[in-house]
Structure 1
Amino acid sequence: MEEEGKEYNWYTGKWEEESGTSTTTKPTCQKCGGSSDMDWKYCPYCGGLWEPTNGREI
């Protein structure tokens, strides 16, 4: 499913041009510090809330 030179943005649901810097900031759990590529509302590891990423309310 990976497209050459593009990366999937889970926040917009679209493929975007890959930039030199990582634009996809993984949400990080405030409780256990775990992170995931998926767009969970809660941490799949401990059930804690994610820290907001990319100015998006989670």
Structure 2
Amino acid sequence: MHNTAEALERAEDTLHRSADASPDEATAVRLDRLGDAVTAEAQEIARRADSLPSPTRTRSDQ
């Protein structure tokens, strides 16, 4: 789950960079809003991942 959150954060960075580069103001606003929504989702996924119990080790793992 942490890998998913990190991938979403990279996508968010790309969206905000694209917004900054967009010559169209409406497009830039939409990309920024989408980037913000992706960030919120990434944070929620990371929060849920942090709340999961750690896997227990079995004899075959040792």
TM-score under structure 1 length normalisation: 0.25
Larger Rg: 2
Q: TM-score, normalised by structure 2?
A: 0.24
Q: Which has the higher contact order (CA 8 A, sep 6+)?
A: 2
**Structure number having the greater helix percentage:** 2
